[in-house]
A and B are shown apart, each in its own frame.
With several copies, the nearest count.
Chain A
Amino acid sequence: MNFELTEEQQMLQDSLRRFLANEYTFEKRRKIIESGQGTDAGTWQALAEMGLLAFTFPEEYDGLGGNGIDTMLVMESFGRALVTEPYLATVVLAGGLVRDAGSDAQKQAILPAIASGEKLMALATYEHGARYSLAHINTQAKNNSGGYELNGTKTAVIHGGQASQLIVSARTSGDTRSEDGITLFLVDANASGVSITDFATHDGFRTAEINLNDVQVTADAVIGKADQGFAALEKAIDQGIAALCAEAVGAMDAMMEATLEYTQTRKQFGTPISRFQVLQHSMADMFIQAQQGRSMSILAADSADSDDRDARRESISQAKLLINQGAREVGQSGVQLHGGMGVTDEMWAAHLFKRLTMINLLFGDADHHLSKVSDALLTKMA
């Protein structure tokens, strides 16, 4: 039982925060977003050079053997600075999935390339009509002589438009909602039959809609075993959720700081508005939420690597539930306490609020995760 960071972790966090404070300013970020590229080569390369893209990969693949706590530290710092780089998509989701479920050859081909910053990837799994259900997969993969032929449409593919390679979940057997029969494939983004529509998101990220029309892949494009991809998919999404939780905690902290500063500066009726008791208690509640969120983010990070599915799922969904609720309260209160300024594009608080809102929608909203823990309660008791 120990909640302290190691010396290495502390150093990592310090240097990352210093880098972001100096190099990833509000104006710089705005320019990156307005460029429409969806990623900034300079920033990405700097992250690679800091070793961040390799941190959680095994040492034999140019990694540093880090764990969920390391991802947490990175994502928390990203959340504070609202970094829009494809770290979640490339490193956490795709990289993590290959690390945990890929063959040696796949790891060899992919992990060092991610680590060096050359390769961007994305996980294409959600589908229309599924909402947050991971097993709801209609994309078909037909076994043929050359391997598999993929047909279907994927949505909400974070940074899908920037990836050179995708991981695509598809159905090799079973009905639409069945956990059995799902297979994971590596698909080149420029393969014939892949069409990608790239969208900006409200919070400066990118998302894509991906159409697969008779896309041919070879048998060695399969990650893990055919029909049995669900476990790896679910674990990757759980790691993604843990990462989002950490990002939200960083953004909540930043919202706290922005709000404390604003309310102590801004005067109304001749006094700083931070003197009003109602606003003080509102900030105290924000602080409590942020602290509770931090506890759950640590729990999620600690559980994310686990193969004990029930325990991992419980921690992850409990964390996302409470952090979503906290992010909503902190986000809304932060904007409210900024008054009219809070709803303008000029204010940092507005951007934090938008990201916190989008995090809540990603990979399951509060109700979704409440239903997960609630229904698990029933099973556990039976």
Chain B
Amino acid sequence: MDLNYTSEQEAFRQEVRQFLQDQLPDDISERTQKRLRLTKDMIVRWQQILHKQGWGASTWPKEFGGTGWSEVEQLIFEEECALAGAPRQLDFGLRMVAPVIMKFGSQEQKGQHLPGILDGSVWWSQGYSEPGAGSDLASLRTTAEREGDHYIVNGQKTWTTLGQYGDWIFCLVRTNKEVKAQEGISFLLIDMKTPGIDVKPIIMLDGEHEINDVFFDNVKVPVENRVGEEDKGWTYAKYLLGHERTGLANVGQWKAMMRRLKEIARQEQDDGHAIIENPRFRDRLAQLDAELRALEVTVLRVLTNSSGPGPEASILKIRGTEIGQRLFELAMEATGQDALAHIPDALEPDYDGPLAGSMNATPAAGDYFNMRKLSIFGGSNEIQRNIISKLVLGL
């Protein structure tokens, strides 16, 4: 047992750090760290910089233009990116649909879709959830009926993150109603410019628009846009869900946020002293710091465990989301009554209007509100506990 990174890994970390120092634009980095809104252009710009470096897809094998990095290297890369204030890359393309296309897609699909994901020019949305289904994904009702060379898709998807920017959407649709719920599902890639698709915003409790309803009204999708076999889509979706062992823990992001929180705690005042000097607040921080450390070690244990991905992902999901939510809660508490004011314009670039308190307060409450989704989306933490008790504990 050896908990130190190898010298190769340390050198790799240095290389990533140097690259970020040289290449990550300051405006992007500062806004990311302060949790202000990024424009679509900023995210594309950063993806193109990464792509130019050959690092556009840290989780892909080399044959598709990925880096071919080991999981530990991927972790180091993500952590350094987060600490440097690099924006999150677009998971829906890079980490959700691409692995399915690479594993189950046709040669044409690979050629058509992977390059646009890699250079950030094509944005993908996820079409899994449907209204009223929640964590019961297999109950989906969106249908795709075969008509010659096309499927005719009808139905509604919801919780479609960034759907308003989506060029393409990957969907689970029901192609067979005669079989068991999980067996008649297919996996389709749909161009969002196809007639009959209507995207409507869902406003979140923080007032922001990041998710959408997507309606399909007799949408014609060429059969060649189906990934793999008909009626086998559930298998591909499960592959994708099980693909991530440790990503749900979000350790890199949370380490960056922890550093930010400590910074906030040094800046925000409490009766004339920095709030970090208040032992009660500091204890909350120290507690969370320890929990994040435990999460990090647990992630490393899972990554370096020779057996494949397993239900331990549920532990990482639970602890990762709990720690993330707590980080933002403490950031809000640190800013106290300054967090009351809701000034959405102040999240935009070039805002120079008034603030209530420091810039630390501007995103504080909104972020806290928004992060409640963490324990709900992607299989609620109650579902994760069901998984642990059934699959790990055998109850």
Binding site for B on A (CB under 8 A): 1-6, 9, 69, 126, 128-133, 136, 155-156, 176-177, 197, 199-202, 205, 207, 209, 260, 263-264, 266-269, 274-281, 283-285, 287-288, 291-292, 294-296, 298-299, 302, 318, 321-322, 332, 335-336, 339-340, 342-347, 350-351, 353-354, 357-358, 361-362, 365, 367, 370-371, 373-375, 377-378, 381
Contact = CB atoms under 8 A, between A and B. Distances in A.
A298 B299 CA distance: 13
Contacts of A292: 291, 294-295, 298, 319
B285 interface: yes
Contacts of A344: 202-205
A350 B393 contact: no
B250 interface: no
Nearest to A130: B271
B393 A284 contact: yes
Contact of A361 (B133, B332, B342, B373): B332
B200 interface: no
Contacts of B376: 335-336, 339-340, 342-343
Contacts of B368: 357
Contacts of A205: 340
A373 B203 contact: no
A156 B304 contact: no
Contact of A132 (B72, B207, B283, B336): B336
B110 interface: no
A156 B205 contact: no
Contact of A201 (B202, B285, B342, B388): B342
Interface stretch (B58-66, B117-125, B274-282): B274-282
Contact of B341 (A200, A267, A274, A362): A200
A298 B271 contact: no
Given A280-B386, A361-B332, A201 B341 contact: yes
A3 B294 contact: no
Contacts of B300: 1, 3
B159 interface: yes
A278 to B, nearest CB: 6
Nearest to B303: A1
B203 A345 contact: yes
B241 interface: no
B328 to A, nearest CB: 11
19 contacts: A1-B5, A1-B300, A3-B304, A197-B356, A202-B340, A268-B135, A268-B136, A274-B395, A280-B386, A281-B382, A291-B312, A295-B297, A302-B3, A321-B290, A335-B205, A340-B134, A350-B369, A361-B339, A371-B280
Interface in B337-374: 337-343, 354, 356-357, 365-366, 368-370, 372-373
B291 to A, nearest CB: 7
B375 A361 contact: no
Interface residues on B, range: 35 or more
B342 A357 contact: no
Contacts of A351: 205
B136 A374 contact: no
A272 to B, nearest CB: 9
A126 B337 contact: yes
> From DSSP, what is the main secondary structure of chain A's interface residues?
helix
Interface in B218-242: none
A247 B2 CA distance: 20
- Considering residues A131, A299, A365, which has the most beta carbons from chain B within 10 angstroms of its beta carbon? A131
What's the dominant secondary structure at chain B's contact region?
A: helix
B289 A342 contact: no
B342 A202 contact: yes
A98 to B, nearest CB: 23
Contacts of B295: 292, 295
B282 to A, nearest CB: 5
Contacts of A285: 385
Given A128-B357, A199-B343, A298-B297, 15 more contacts: A69-B1, A130-B271, A197-B354, A207-B340, A268-B134, A284-B389, A295-B297, A318-B290, A340-B376, A342-B205, A361-B336, A367-B281, A367-B284, A374-B285, A377-B276
B304 to A, nearest CB: 5
B318 to A, nearest CB: 6
B395 A283 contact: yes
A281 B389 contact: yes
3 A-B pairs with the lowest CB-CB distances in the bound complex, closest first: A280-B389, A156-B337, A374-B286
A199 B389 contact: no
Contact of A354 (B205, B385, B393): B205
Contacts of B342: 199-202
Contacts of A357: 332, 365, 368-369
A284 B341 contact: no
Contact of B380 (A302, A336, A373): A336
B282 A378 contact: yes
A296 B294 contact: yes
Nearest to B302: A3
Contact of B366 (A5, A202, A268, A340): A202
A209 B341 CA distance: 10
A373 B139 CA distance: 48
Nearest to A365: B333
B141 to A, nearest CB: 13
B393 A207 contact: no
B270 interface: yes
Contacts of A199: 340-343, 354, 356
B262 interface: yes
Contacts of A5: 1
